[in-house]
Amino acid sequence: MSRFLDCEIAEMAGVRADVGEEVFNRWFDKSEIKGRLKKVCMDEQGLRCCYCRKFDNTTNNLIWDLEHVLCELYYPQFFASDDNLAVACKRCNNAKKHEDVLRPQPRPDPRIEEVPQQPECYSIPHPRFDAWSDHLSHVNYQIYSSDTDKGVELMRVCKLNEPAVDQAGLDHESVVAAIKTQFFQIVDNAVSAPPPDEEILVRMARGVQNLEDERAAMTLAGLAPKLRALGRKAGRRNMEQSIAEARALAAPPAKPPKEKISEGRALSLVASVGGPRARYSLSDLRDN
């Protein structure tokens, strides 16, 4: 089922038919359709990045990027395709950039007409066609690991371990030690025998996950009426107005009118660069 509304699908089809793919993509990037879809993705993903799965308790469109799984550089035909879109944090989106994740490589014909829906067509876990947890595990969303090719490739493409390992100098053991310290502070050391590290990690991860899910539920409850309002607004938009907006993007920018210089202004400009003012008249300047 498409996350675009029927009226949005018709609007996009009309604009694309009128101005062509390149201008349509520029129009979509600025459109209210994109803004609404970003919020739909936030709701669907529970305010988590589609790649690192880190939580951010905001529905501000400026905080989240609309991610094109198949990048717009190689696959502009999928710039506004529902199955090619998700929300990502800015760090992951900037890290991935224009990485081509379509299999097989070297790149197949980039003018394929439909977004491939088979998970095996992608070198990384696809946000809509793969289960993230089937390919990656994490320690506090800081240290990531994987035993699948797709998970390892996502770690490379989005540099998932770079903030903790390369920038903060952390490793698996130090993160586990910090989590264990937090665990014993929470239980106030009221355990007869310390549980294994793996159990501590699972219990702490579950606790963090539950807390974040509760915060997301409260935030997304406030998003629901906004989405309904955006849906009503989409139904009232005028196709002709949208086409006019797209055509305006295609038109070359108007040149500013040439400034008319009065005789007094011209003589003032000459004097400002050291010319002897009394020797010149406006007709002299025109002749030169």
Helix, strand, coil distribution of the chain in percent, nearest 5: 55, 5, 40
Q: What is the pLDDT of residue 180?
A: 65
**Predicted confidence (pLDDT) per residue in 221-235, tens digit:** 999 999 999 999 999
Return phi, psi of residue 102, to 5°.
Answer: -85, 135
Q: How far apart are CA 67 and CA 85, in angstroms?
A: 6
Residue 218: which of 55, 37, 50, 4 has the closest Cα? 55
**Predicted confidence (pLDDT) per residue in 11-70, tens digit:** 999 999 999 999 999 999 999 999 999 999 999 999 999 999 999 999 999 999 999 999
Instruction: Say what the pTM is.
Output: 0.80
Give the pairing type, strands 85-88 and 137-139.
unpaired
H/E run at residue 250: helix 239-250
Residue 170: which of 138, 194, 148, 213 has the closest Cα? 138
Q: Is 12 within 8 Å of 80 (Cβ atoms)?
A: yes
In this predicted structure, the answer to whether residue 80 has a pLDDT above a threshold of 80 is: yes
In this predicted structure, the answer to whether residue 276 has a pLDDT above a threshold of 60 is: no
Q: What is the pLDDT of residue 149?
A: 95
- Considering the chain, what percentage of its residues have pLDDT values greater than 70? 81
Q: How far apart are CA 18 and CA 67, in angstroms?
A: 26
Band of pLDDT at residue 142, cut at 50, 70 and 90: confident
Burial level of 80, CB count in 10 A (0-12/13-18/19+)?
A: buried
Residue 96: which of 63, 44, 50, 136 has the closest Cα? 50
**Predicted confidence (pLDDT) per residue in 85-130, tens digit:** 999 999 999 999 999 999 988 777 768 999 999 999 999 999 999 9
Q: What is the pLDDT of residue 288?
A: 44
Mean pLDDT (the chain, rounded): 86
Pairwise pLDDT comparison (257 vs 56), residue with the higher score: 56
Q: Is 28 within 8 Å of 37 (Cβ atoms)?
A: no
